[in-house]
Amino acid sequence: MKQGKSSKKDFSKFYLIILAFILSITLTQELFFTISPLKKLELKFIDSRFSERGPVNIKDSSKVIILEITQDSYDQIPQPYNKWPWARSIYVNVIENLTEAGVKAIGIDINMLGPDQFSPKNDSLMKAAIRKSGKVVLAGKIDEVLERSIDERNTLIQNQKINFSNIFYDADSSIGIVQLPPDYDGVFRRYLPYVFTSSINKNIPSFGGAVLNKYYNLNHDYTAQRKDGYFDFNGTQIPMFDNYTYLINFYGPSSTFPKIKFIDVLDDKDFLTTDEIELEVELNTWDMDDGLLQSGIFKDKVVLIGSTMPEDRDLFPTSFAKGDLEGDNLIYGVEIHANAINNVLNRDFLSKQSKLTEILEIIILVLIIFFITDVIRRLKLKNNLFLELINLIIVSLSIFLLYQISIYFFITHKLIISIIAPAVSILISYFASTAYHFIKERQQNVLIKGMFSTYVSKDVVNELLNNPDKLKLGGEKKNVTILFSDIAGFTTFSEGKQPEELVLFINEYLNEMTDIVLKNEGTLDKYLGDAIMAFWGAPLEVENHAHKACITALEMQKSTNEISKRWISTGEQPLKIRIGINSGEVIVGNMGGVKRFDYTVMGDNVNLASRLEGANKQYNSKIMIGESTYELIKDKFLARELDLIKVKGKVKPTKVFELIGLKEELNNASVEKLLEDYSRALNMYKQKEFEQAKILFDSVSREFNDDTSKIYSDRCQSFIITPPDVKWDGVFELKTK
């Protein structure tokens, strides 16, 4: 709608887009609050990326080997030393064997809080072995649960014991904190490079960090430095996931890393397993000719010692699942450390999209989705539901494409692109576009109702509201039929009447006439005192608009007769109305200023209709129609030619007719004779046979009380006395409007 392109509506679109930006960023960027379902859903999409990527085969390339404590290890350690916790001398043998095999670091992910239950000597041996090897890292814990705010920005540890829950801390202080930070949904996806403790006011390496210190021959208390967006670990940049953690790039589900049974490293020539004792046969797996020592498998590797027995309850839910069943994403704690350590060793890091690019993505998506859905809603289709379905498909495909792009960048670039934030922005933009069109439609409906509720019938208004695309409020050319009506002698009629009495009459009359116009699908243009202007064919196309205008004129005459009877009964003079009708091309639309305008029609055909209404008094006729209207209705209506006239302001003459009625209602001999005799007389008049024409006009006038024939009789008499010019063409020129 051309009038709808106002600054107010443009601003409403601008405001809604800005609101969509603000709402999208507020809901997804956790500036003021966290929406738990959205945060959890974003985390779940991280897990889905691992499922889409699948496991990475690192059995042959891994720099980390897990020395797993299994049931076989319990079974092969002779009693009573197989009672948990094992004698520390067992770990001494393993440390010595691994050191001999050339490992770079040994991480023992086992709690050693108290003294050896078998002999204090074992603890002394353990300390000596740790110091001698120089490659051992022990598991440290904190007494309290890691205190973190909901948004995981704080890892402050309070009131820590100096030995970090491990009696061998003072062996060489190579302790790593094994506790892991769970995510918002309880899943373990992140890793701490270090933990700050206020008890000694310093950073303590995490278990993985301490193991890496051994691997790179760094000081035992070395920790990564937090930089702008990454942790700097010995020159290696580890991308931050948040201020205190990095995201673990899991290589696969449980058992992805190469595993060797603890007992197989323990079982050297100096250790007798249960089977060796019972069978009295040496079955060494460590230092035989083809044993693990000679295989070189441990050379320059990181060995992590930990339990893989479910009953030890060292299982954690992680991002990677081997199936879709509950518990398929559980892996052992030692495996989580292995993934985190190997990430650093191989620099297999996952990067997260920056907040700036995420916000830019939100802004771009809001704009794109808003304008695409806006454009689609403007398409001219009969079924708006189909357009809405297209928009929903576009929104769904956009989110799906966003997901696929995130999978691509994850697999090819190890980049985590936010899914929920842009997806939410897409949805918000869609609803903002919907709101904009709702507001626009409401404004349009108010405009349509305001403009047309008094002009056209309720059915037409409802049709415009349901299909506003049928309405063009700017000027346009259309073929319509225009009707003008006026009360004959109204000035005389109104003289001597009180204003209140005159208003009552006018209101009664105009109400009756308006109802007839609207009932016949006409558009009421305006009232001009007692005069009425109406037209058919706009704002909606009206089939047989000329037909409906003529029906309206006949019904208006009939209704006026009824009103006249009521007024005659009160002593008033009878009412007569004159009606002019013409059909043709006009300009239709809003005419006026910016703040005040009317929906109306303009053009020569409108002026002609007005002139025809006034021309009725020249022929004492009631309904005069133009030739263009006559050609459209002649098959169903009776009409007689009145004259060839030249109205004021027009150069070219026009043929005019008097509308008499519907053929089906006037099918009688009397009417046929009237029209036949009148037509013969008119032909004589055109042939300048004025005397014969006068005789026949007089006959018609007397027999049928036909005023028009009387007027033509007088005109013939005038031409008999004063014959017209030789060039006379029968055109009668109207001197007045």
Q: pLDDT tens digits for 586-632?
A: 998 776 655 556 778 899 999 999 999 999 999 999 999 999 999 99
Residue of higher predicted confidence among 30 and 220? 220
Contacts of 7 by beta carbon, 8 Å cutoff, 6+ apart: none
Residue of higher predicted confidence among 33 and 162? 33
Residue of higher predicted confidence among 501 and 356? 356
What's the 3-state SS for 518-546?
Answer: HHCCCEEEEEECCEEEEEECCCCCCCCHH
Do you find a cis peptide bond into 574, omega within 30 degrees of 0?
Answer: no
Q: How far apart are the first and last CA of the chain?
A: 36
DSSP 8-state class, residue 27: H
Indicate if the pLDDT at residue 146 is higher than 80: no
pLDDT of 103 reads 97
pLDDT of 459 reads 57
How would you class 481 by CB atoms within 10 Å of its CB: exposed for 0-12, middle for 13-18, buried for 19 or more? buried
Report the range of poorest mean pLDDT among 45-49, 335-339, 364-368, 486-490.
486-490
Q: Which of 20-29, 274-283, 472-481, 494-503 has the highest mean pLDDT?
A: 20-29
SS3 for 637?
Answer: strand
How would you class 465 by CB atoms within 10 Å of its CB: exposed for 0-12, middle for 13-18, buried for 19 or more? middle
Residue of higher predicted confidence among 655 and 538? 655
pLDDT of 543 reads 86
- Least Cα distance to 339 among 489, 463, 492, 189 occurs for 189
What's the 3-state SS for 48-67?
Answer: HHHHHHCCCCCCCCCCEEEE
- Read off the pLDDT band of 445 (50, 70, 90): low
- Read off the pLDDT band of 504 (50, 70, 90): confident
Average pLDDT over residues 228-243: 94
Average pLDDT over residues 179-187: 91
User: Rounded distance, CA 489 to CA 560, Å?
Assistant: 14
- Read off the pLDDT band of 674 (50, 70, 90): very high
Indicate if the pLDDT at residue 246 is higher than 70: yes
- Read off the pLDDT band of 210 (50, 70, 90): very high
State the angle between helix axes of 690-704 and 707-721 in degrees (0 to 180), rounded to the nearest 10. 160
User: Rounded distance, CA 309 to CA 314, Å?
Assistant: 8
- Read off the pLDDT band of 149 (50, 70, 90): very low
Tokens linked to 500: 């209140």
User: Rounded distance, CA 10 to CA 713, Å?
Assistant: 67
Contact between residue 283 and residue 275 where contact means Cβ atoms under 8 Å apart: yes
Report the range of poorest mean pLDDT among 10-14, 179-183, 367-371, 721-725.
10-14
Indicate if the pLDDT at residue 443 is higher than 70: no
User: Rounded distance, CA 582 to CA 549, Å?
Assistant: 9
Contacts of 577 by beta carbon, 8 Å cutoff, 6+ apart: 485, 486, 487, 488, 556, 557, 560, 622
Report the range of poorest mean pLDDT among 294-303, 496-505, 614-623.
496-505
Report the range of poorest mean pLDDT among 290-294, 395-399, 467-471, 552-556.
467-471
pLDDT of 158 reads 41
SS3 for 128?
Answer: helix
Residue with tokens 């558009």: 523
DSSP 8-state class, residue 469: G
Sign of CA dihedral 332, 336, 341, 347: positive
Tokens linked to 560: 């006026």
* pTM across the whole model: 0.66
Query: For 198-257, where are the E strands, in sequence order?
Result: 202-205, 225-226, 230-233, 236-239, 246-247
pLDDT of 678 reads 95
- Read off the pLDDT band of 165 (50, 70, 90): confident
State the angle between helix axes of 88-100 and 120-133 in degrees (0 to 180), rounded to the nearest 10. 20
Query: For 628-722, where are the E strands, in sequence order?
Result: 637-646, 654-662
The residue count for the chain: 737
State the angle between helix axes of 355-377 and 420-452 in degrees (0 to 180), rounded to the nearest 10. 30
pLDDT of 586 reads 94
Interval 102-145: pLDDT, tens: 999 999 999 898 999 999 999 999 999 999 999 999 999 876 44
Q: What is the largest CA-CA distance in the chain?
A: 160
Interval 556-583: pLDDT, tens: 999 999 988 888 887 777 889 999 999 9
Contacts of 58 by beta carbon, 8 Å cutoff, 6+ apart: 251, 252, 256, 257, 342
SS3 for 204?
Answer: strand
- Least Cα distance to 476 among 299, 601, 661, 371 occurs for 601
Indicate if the pLDDT at residue 2 is higher than 60: no
Contact between residue 160 and residue 202 where contact means Cβ atoms under 8 Å apart: no
SS3 for 148?
Answer: coil
Exposure class string for 568-596: b at 16+ Cβ within 10 A, else e: eeeeeeebbbbbbbbbbebebbbeeeeee
Contacts of 174 by beta carbon, 8 Å cutoff, 6+ apart: 130, 136, 137, 138, 210, 213, 214, 220
Tokens linked to 736: 């007045």
What's the 3-state SS for 598-621?
Answer: EEEEECHHHHHHHHHHHHHHHHCC
Share of the chain above pLDDT 90, in %: 61
Tokens linked to 596: 């005040």
pLDDT of 145 reads 40
pLDDT of 495 reads 75
pLDDT of 94 reads 96
Share of the chain above pLDDT 70, in %: 89
- Read off the pLDDT band of 313 (50, 70, 90): confident
pLDDT of 456 reads 56
SS3 content of the chain, % helix, strand, coil (to 5): 45, 20, 35
